[in-house]
Amino acid sequence: MSETYDVIVIGSGPGGYVCAIRCAQLGLKTACVEKRETLGGTCLNVGCIPSKAMLQASEKFEEAEHALGGFGVKVSGVELDLKGFMKHKDDVVASNVKGVEFLFKKNKIDWLKGAGKITAKGEVTVGDTAYKTKNIVIATGSDSMPLKGVELDGKKIVDSTGALSLAKVPETMVVIGGGYIGLEMGSVWQRLGTKVTVVEFLDRIVPGMDGEVSKMMQRVLSKQGMDFRLKTKVTAAKKTRKGVSLTVEPAAGGDGETLETDVVLLAIGRRPFTEGLGLEDVGVRLDDRGRVEIDDHYATSVEGIYAIGDVVKGAMLAHKAEEEGVALAELLAGQSGHVNYGAIPGVVYTFPEVASVGRTEEQLKEDGVAYKSGKFPFSANGRARAMNQTDGFVKVLSDKETDRVLGVHIIGPDAGHLIAECAMAMEFGASAEDIARTCHAHPTLSEAVKEAALAVDGRALHM
């Protein structure tokens, strides 16, 4: 007789493992299904964590090669040890996934190893064993979006996973897609010596970000050596003896041309992963984009089955999935879990970083919302000058009548950390004046946030 659980979570990515931990903390007998050899899902194994390890390492390499001289630090004979570079990435991944395994043991969560399938209401089958449960949580995440005419081979034509483990530094790379994944991984290899060209179907990169931020980001990345082909689509990719021959043409239609490159990185987005879960058989409805349909409490069309993270509507972000996992766990335990979707930050970990929370100027204009805007450049921030990192700015948007913060957009050093203050301000309904009147330590980058909030009222002090 197999075990019976209060909750079985399918998938051990950030949404799944956090949901499982919170369920266990609340006294629910919990199991988590994972088919990988390690816990952590895409994020910890082949996504957020390894890519950030490589971004950090590549920044160090570029700093040693080009930037330390500006601080009076003489460095010579800088060389890339690609094997050591990759070992750093692998060590970081191993440490993180072992950490999740430790947390499972600490919280007495059973790891059901193998691919899970919902075989009936209240039943999940893993391998040859059927497990009974009161609640099922679908947290299977997402995988890379394919593109017709571009077939992955894992060596010359790769997705984000393949880009984490190239055997050598290519001379040239074409990135298909100007979103955060393509720009981050393109930045890694560019710093290591690759000439990178980004092909984007739309008329700007990172289309979900504030338009002014997007424009400046492109200018900064172009200055770093990255080329951009906007309003351009890829129609075919053919492997050659030397690399890949890409056929591209204007997005609006027209004559095509050929781009020759060593490696192609396909990064046009991600799609929900629901294959093999048996959802159709048990009556779980999907929407027209293949996402699991849920109500405001993460419940699907079948009683006792819930879904969170990348398989449902909303931003495909690890931290969004985590928040949903916690909220659902608390709801299952009879508490009042909730996620404020208006205050979920997004970060692009290029250099400089780009971070955003709330609505953009374009969205406010489209919705007819009257707003005020305050902006402050890092070139006027003392700490940024000391760091030789003065590209970028902070922009604060607030309601014209109430001054409530509606959105904050940052491009600049450490933007991913700076945005946390802004997300908390929005979570508690703060005004721009609240941020402006909060004492910020000097000299810090966070003073740029304070100054942008002051600028909303036209009274920035250092500009």
Phi and psi, residue 341, nearest 5°: -70, -10
Element (H, E) at 48: helix 48-62
C-alpha to C-alpha distances, 281 to 162, 197, 284, 308, 314, nearest whole angstrom: 33, 44, 8, 20, 25
SS3 content of the chain, % helix, strand, coil (to 5): 35, 25, 40
Cα dihedral 298, 301, 307, 308, rounded to 10, equals -50
State how far the Cα of 389 lies from the Cα of 378, in Å rounded to an integer.
8
Cα dihedral 318, 180, 140, 419, rounded to 10, equals 10
C-alpha to C-alpha distances, 56 to 86, 93, 122, 182, 279, nearest whole angstrom: 12, 14, 44, 16, 40
Bridge partners (DSSP) of residue 137 are 9, 306
Catalytic residues: 442
State how far the Cα of 166 lies from the Cα of 185, in Å rounded to an integer.
11
Determine the longest span between alpha carbons in the chain, in angstroms. Answer: 71
Q: Which two tokens stand for residue 110?
A: 């059973």
Nearest to 435 by CA among 381, 186, 190, 427: 427
Cβ of 428: how many Cβ atoms within 10 Å?
Answer: 11
Residues 6 or more apart in contact with residue 73 via CB below 8 angstroms: none
Nearest to 157 by CA among 51, 47, 56, 259: 259
Element (H, E) at 97: helix 82-106
